[in-house]
Each structure stands twice: as structure tokens, then as C-alpha cells.
Structure 1
Amino acid sequence: MTEGNFVDYVKIHVASGKGGQGSAHLRREKYVAKGGPDGGDGGRGGHVVLKGNKNLWTLFHLKFKRHIRAEHGSSGGKQTSTGADGQDQYIEVPLGTVLRDTETQEILHEITEDGQEIIVAEGGKGGLGNSHFKSSKNQTPRYAQPGLEGEEKDITLELKILADVGLVGFPNAGKSTLLSVITAAKPKIADYEFTTLKPNLGIVEYRDYQTFVVADIPGIIEGAAEGKGIGHRFLRHIERNSTLLFLIPADARDIVKQYEILLDELRRYNPEMLDKDRLIAISKSDMLDEELKAELKAELDGNLNAPYLFISAVAQQGLVELKDKLWEMLNKQAV
């Protein structure tokens, strides 16, 4: 999937269908001069329904479809026949999609299961036909109910990626390079900050044909929790990852400080993020000889509150150990 096709935020105007008009028909047949009221009810207006689809990974198909309307219900007919319901309009979305009210920004629903359906805008109820209003005092009512209006609202759809592992790091830490090496994903890679502007997903093939999903997400910067840079657009994507892989380059000025800054941004955005399993990968470690590695280990031991290992995506060093450790962390609950 190209970066331009990854759409994780859309605003849509939805309108459900109006209920059909009830019929005020009076029965008239050859030998029945005054058959009384036999008007049927109007049909229900169509709903606008949000539906989860596990085969979708982006909201790109909704990028240019900003108005969605369901069908109106049909009017009732004679012989108390009910009008047809308006056709429902389905909006298929990837798992991990959050539905917000655009005006209030209130979260209304979340789609997390395949086939899950949520009515976003309810169709108007059909009007009652005149057959409902007959009585001993009024045996031939010549009126019926109109159908109720449907709902119209503006909604916002946000995608929070459902991946197993989220790559966390500053810009230019080597996340895209790592993803391109351990998966079949082909993210944009260059030697400048914010090369990755939107998330990339990759499937890691593990032993015995088993797999897990890794998301390379735009680099974090100080102040991301307040929305600086691409702040919230980045942070919401790692809310659902079960494991966080922190990538810090070996040539960083202070590895411990970088890790603490990343942790602090996650804590300020959502303290629950710190409850996730964490693994630190010191990238670009092919630049280190054994003596420098030993010095770095002495500095890191006791100062990092998470396991760490040295890797190099370019030199293919430590990648098997990385996969083994991630697989172990992802499946420790099943053991």
C-alpha cells in the first residue's frame, strides 16, 4: 500500500431515509360500496450503518465520498399493504475505526470486530395508515400519518491501527528501514526527518508459517502529546498495539534520555500506554565494536526499565533475536 493511499481520518455527512407516508385509502369494490378504511402503513426509512470489514486497512475508499444518504421508505398501499422499507446504506470500515460526532468530538462507537454493525443514523419510522384510526365514532377516517423524518449528522471516522507491535522512535531512528527488512513492506526511506508521514503496516513471517503485524508509525517528537508535529495523528495509532518496540539509534547522544522522553510523551497522552509490554532495540549498532558495546551495556544496565538488544537492519544483525523476543512477548499470555 502506498503512503498516499493510507487515509486514517475522514469527515462524512450522513442522512438516513424518511419514513413512508401512511395510506388513507378507502376500500371500494364492485359489491362493496362502503368497505371502510384499508390504508397500509408507510415503510421505514433506510438506516446508515457502519460495518467492520477485516479485509480493509484504510479509509481511502471514503476519501472522496463525503455525502452518504439512505433510501426513503415507500408509501403504504391499499388492502393494508405496508410500503417497502428504504434500503440501508452501509459504510464498510477497517477494524479499529472510531466514530466521533464531528460537532462535539464525542466518541460514539468503536468498530473492533469483523461484521460488527452500528447504526449511525436511524431511518424515520413509517406513518400509520388510516386503518389504525377507525373507531365506532369514526368509521371512515380519511387521514393517515406522514412518515417521520430521518436523521442528518456530520461524523468523523478515525482509524487506530490494529497491529501487534508498534514501532516507537524519534524521526530518522531507522524504523522504516527495519520494517522493510523484517517484512515485505516497502515504506519510503530517506535520510531526513519525517520521511514517514503516515503509518506503514508489515507482516513479519515467523517460524512454522506463523506471523505477526508490525506498524511503523510517524516519528514522535517532544510535545507530540500536545499535538506538535504530527502529534495526535501518530499517538492514536499505538493505543491498540499490544507491544511497543522502542527504536533508538546507537549514535544518539543519550539513549536513556531519548527513551525517557518517548515514555513521557506516551504517559502525557494516555497513562495506560505504559501498561503495554516494551522492548528497546538499539539500532544502527553495526557502527559499534565490541568495546563500545560493552561500554554502552554498562551504561544502560539498571537505567532502562525494559529489556533491550542491539540490532542493525542494514547489516542484518540481531534480527532473529528481535523476532524471537517479540514473538515471546506477544504470546506469553497464551503459554
Structure 2
Amino acid sequence: MTGSYPALRLRRTRSTAWSRSLHRETLLTPADLIWPLFVTEGTGVEEPIGSLPGVSRWSADGIVARAKEAVGLGIPCLALFPNTPREKRSDDGAEALNPDNLMCRAIRAIRDACGSDIGILTDVALDPYTSHGQDGLVNDAGYVVNDDTVAMLVDQAVNQAEAGADIVAPSDMMDGRIHAIRLALEMGGHHNVQIMSYAAKYASAFYGPFRDAVGSSGLLKGDKKAYQMDPANGEEALREVALDLAEGADSVMVKPGLPYLDIVRRVKERFEVPVFAYQVSGEYAMIEAAAAAGAGERDALVLETLMSFKRAGCSGVLTYHAPLAARLLHG
């Protein structure tokens, strides 16, 4: 290269490790991670999930051990999902309102063991409790009805808050549920319980292993396209987010993650609020399959995908790779 002016060389700052570190624009730490965990009945129980290699369902005592592990790794929050026994599932999902259900017992066990050292996020939806696998109540025509479902979700959220949940996370996609839940939490004295709304949850093909994990895949009748979002729609996601924020959501979530990073970016730029993404079960399974097939190196794949969420604008990521990522980030 010739000329009378200094050459512009963008590679200069990439030439050494210390310089790459100095100029790095995005930071990923264990504090950016939420670890989803599956709770099952019993004591001393670990049930490996075939479609999620390396992930298990745990009885409450095992969940407590995972919570202590998370504290040691600097992971600030757990997300709990119950594998409700089939005999406790019903058309109306009434077990969701039982103050001694699997979710509430796990919450209390973590709180007793860890105090306020870790946050507890709970799923608010009826699919782990219904015999038909839908997220809400179903009428005779097979349609998931909105307002009657919202009434159930309100009671479910309050039940979880009273057990000790720090964040309730409605994943059902019913209209108006954020306002109703926020009002009930305030009236119940749960002023500091946060709502993380699954504001843009898509009807995705990436949820299969999760449904295995919570025991609903073999039960699901029909699909969820009448309430989860069409993957073709982006503007609609912004309307969903705007509505949930107006109704009192403290943060919002985009689900799934990697196929919807454009939505994460648009939400962050439009609303400037805390945005989370869920790196869902199918995304996890693909990384594990690629690593097992020798198509990629697991550790590098995990950290690169998580960094992409932060670069897109996420405040944090729900990921089954949370403990692995935290260990890698600790070096």
C-alpha cells in the first residue's frame, strides 16, 4: 500500500490477545445467565432426559443442590419447570393452584437452603398441569379460552409468589394476563415480585425436547398456533411487548432465541427495557448434536451463541448450558 496518509488497518487492534480484550464491545459473564431446571417427584431422584443430553429432571433435594451449585458459579437466577405426575393433571389444570404442588415445594426448598442468595423464576402457564397439554382452559370446540384462563393464571402466579418466587414469568400468551397478575400481586402484598413476560413467544418447532422434559408432549392435543405467535411476524412482536409493558411487566422475553435475534434487537432499540431471550431446548439439542458429531467444539459453540444474545441487546439468557458457560467464563 502506498500513499501520503496513514493506512487504515482495522486488524491492528486484533493482533494480540490483550488488545482484543481491551477493544471488546460486548461482555458476557455468569451474571447474565438464568439456569432452567426441571423438577420431579420423589427424593434423591435424577431422571436424564433423552432428548436433552446432559439435562435431567431432579427431585426437590437435587434442585437444592443445583441451586447451591449456581450460587457458587455466580449464576444469579434459576427458572423452575415442574414435571407434574399424570394422575395430578386435569382438564382444568387445578394442580397449578395447589399450595403444596411440586413447583411450590421446590421454591420453598431452595429458599430454605439458599435464602436470598439466588433468584427464583417460575413459569406461569397451565400446560404442565393440564391433561390436554394446552397452556390454558379449552372449550368444547377445542379452543383455548382467554379470560377464564387468565383467572387461573392470576391464582397460579399468586400461589407461586406466596411460596417465595421472586419473578413470575407468564409464558401462556393470553391477552391481558400481565395487568391481571400485577394487580393481584399488588393486592396480595407482593409488591417486589417481578413479572418477566414471555411477550414474544413464537409457535416454534424448537420446543420438542422441553415438552418431553415436562411430560406434556404425549398429551398435547392440537397445536398452540391460536395463541403463540406466527414465526413470520415481527411488527406483531412489538405490539405484544408494548402491551405487556403498559400492563406492568418489569422485563420481557423473546422465545426462542437464536432464530429471533432480530426481534431481540428491535425490542431493545424500540423500548430500551430489560430484554431476555430463552435459548430453548431445541437450540440446546442442536449444539449438543453438533458437538457429538464432531461438527463443532461444544465450548466454543456455547460461548459464541451466548455472546450473540448479549450483542443483540439481551440483559440475560435462559440457557441449559448455564453451568458449563459459567465454568468456562470463570476460566
Do both share a fold (TM > 0.5)?
Answer: no
- Structure in which a larger fraction of residues adopt strand: 1
Normalising by structure 2, report the TM-score.
0.30
